[in-house]
Structure 1
Amino acid sequence: MSVPAYNAVSPQILTVSQVTREIRNLLEGTYPKVWIEGEISNLRVVHSGHAYFTLKDANSQLRAVIFRSSWRQLPFTPESGMHVVAQGRLSVYEPRGDYQLLATFLEPKGIGALQLAYEQLRDRLFQEGLFDEARKRPLPLVPQRIGIVTSPTGAAIRDIIRIVHRRRANVRLYLYPVRVQGQEATQEIVQGIARLNAYEPRPEVLIVGRGGGSLEDLWAFNEEQVARAIAASEIPVISAVGHEIDYTIADFVADLRASTPSAAAELVVKSEEELRQQLNSLLARMHTIVQYRHAQAQQALDYLFNSRPLREPHRFVNTLQQQVDDLVLQLEKGWQNSSQEREKRLENATRSLARLNPRVRWQRLYTHLTTLERRLQTAIRSRLIRRGETLGGLSSRLNALSPLAVLGRGYSLCREPISRQLVSRTALVHTGQQIEVLLQDGQLTCTVDDIDSKEPDYGRSDFRTGSETPGGNS
């Protein structure tokens, strides 16, 4: 099958980048704002602060990214496995050709974002121990200086001032005005707590709160910064948020929680009647304790007064003297026993020292060493004698087998003068060749004049290898 040739009038050919850009423009123009529901998976936040994740359902998945500015504004912390509704626009990431969702907002499915953020922060601070009762401090009994962090125009400050002045007029109030809702409220509340802690003269107790409202209105008191500012305060803090149904995070962290600002004022400033009742209660308790202690002391005094040592002191002294005599006898007996025991130990130590005297041990070792030396010398002499006898026998056998001994009996050896090879047959020499003839007392250099070959006769007593007869000539 032939391939059609390229025709100049063919449709325009696009590059991959051009096609990808067209698709991106098409997607962004068609879906500039969408809401997509799905489950978060593969969530990761990179060092730039951007978050990348995948939205998926039972059949499909979609890449998504939410940039740092939008990520920081989320009221809760997204996690993998969380079911959410995401708002954003569809686009294409051109370098890879992947289409993705550029998310600007996330909301948990089935639960509000604020409620989820509240639960996440509550659980985390609980694990850190910020809600522990052990770290909470008691309020002063009769404070003279009260710090207040709230709105200067709300009903909360008016209720606090009214109740405090009605109960006790000599209390000084220090108001740090803040906004109690909105984006600026969190930072202003944190700053107010810090400023009142640094103020001189320092307030003895702080009231932080506002009137009632919705969860959104009260959200500033659920922020982590406010909770940590309350926990870091050196002054005891009363949380007075007018929301009696649910607790705020500030309620959990504060040293004391009041249901409303008015209730906080009543808790911190006791009325004259309450103080009088409390004082009377303390006086009654003190009177009861004093009476009880007096009765105990009187009973102890009666017991001592009726005791025999006070009524008959001489008997008590006699008894003590007898005890002293017994102790003296025990001491003397113990001293004698101890002295005898020490003498025995000294005698045993002396005997042991005598046995271990270095001079005695050295003398014993020297005697043993002398004995071993004599035994060694005797063994060496005996060994040398036996080895000498063995050596003599071997020398006799060696002399008997030595060629020199044969030469001494009148025989001679013939050898080639250069190679020193023994001449054992006439075929090894030729006429005119010089040979060496070894005798008992030296050697002769001879020239072969004539060669007479014969069959060897090993039965003849006058035939020897390298020589014809004793003293014979070549």
Structure 2
Amino acid sequence: MLFQDSLGAPSAISVSALSLYLKELLDTNDILQNIWVHGEVSNCKTYPSGHCYFTLKEGEAQLSCVFFKQARLRTAAPSLRDGMALAVNGRIAFYERDGKLQFYVNAVMSLGEGALFRKFEQLKARLEAEGLFDSERKRPLPEQPATIGIVTSLQAAALRDMLRTLRNRYPLAQVILAPAQVQGAEAPASIAMALDLLNEHGEAEVIIVGRGGGSIEELWAFNEEIVARAIARSRIPVISGVGHETDFTIADFVADFRASTPTAAAAAAVPDITDWQIELQEKQQLLTALIIERIEDCNVQVAQALRELQRVSPEGTIAQRRQQLDECTERLQTYMRHIISLRVERLRGVSLQLHSLSPLLTIARGYAVVRQQRDHAVVTSTQQVQVGDTLTIQVQDGQIAAQVRDSVEKI
């Protein structure tokens, strides 16, 4: 609605005025104040307040709907979820703050499941029958992957969240990014190609397939068979982190591990280095305590061993025996001196006795000692000599050689 000034130039009205005009226009339309609309539920969210917000879609058209808690309780409406086919009764109004049309629901009637939901259930049942969801085929995730592959959009906020989580939890890991479209008609083939490329590259030890939350249509690429098949044939374990905690896709069922969000997927892919640091500190403290305890035990054992060694040490015995040896040596020396003294005295006596019996004394008195020269035998009888024997006659001052010439006669 335009107004012209006196010069004919148009003048604009304010946004508030236009919003009020649209609101009044819709509120005064009897048809739009009580109308039934049918479509498929998407992006359904129920808040703690009890109010339910969802989008009703059909083809390319969509209508934002609000189902307040009072209306839900009054009509005993069923719990709404994505994929339901509904007929909703209510009124159209203009929500001025957001500048958009909203359908305020008074009552709902379930028409069964929507086309997308039926497609989802049909593919899920077929793949499950083939065994693609079996727990036996799911592989364990590596505990300490050196390289992590990520399949997502380069522009996705989820990529920044995953990289930040990986960097904070496990900065040792390298990341290989395989960019892919995660929304739209070309997204399924793009995701499958990125998975195949990471498998062909071969360095990644685990792959994260993820994107942030959205409506069922926005997440639909992860419900396509081509993506499910790519995950199933991957030689590398796959973590699915698509949407929010309440969102489930076919990729979640086929993947080796389902995470509630992309951030949770990154956390599941790697250990938390903080836990290692805490565990390392605890083990270090335990090891220190064990070492101190061991040293104390060793000190006690050494002290006991020293006491036992001192008790059995031969040092005391050696000292005692050394003293005994000194005493024995002294006694032996005294005894030997005594024995020698006695022997000297006895020798002196024997010498005197021998001297008194010595033939030299007899010789000194004028006698002589006659000996055979051949054997120095003392001649005391004529029977001991014969004519021609050589004799030695010992006198006081020397010896005289003699020879027997005449016959020997007895006296």
TM-score normalised by length of structure 2: 0.41
Q: Which has the higher contact order (CA 8 A, sep 6+)?
A: 2
TM-score normalised by length of structure 1: 0.35
Give the number of the structure whose residues are more often strand, by fraction: 2
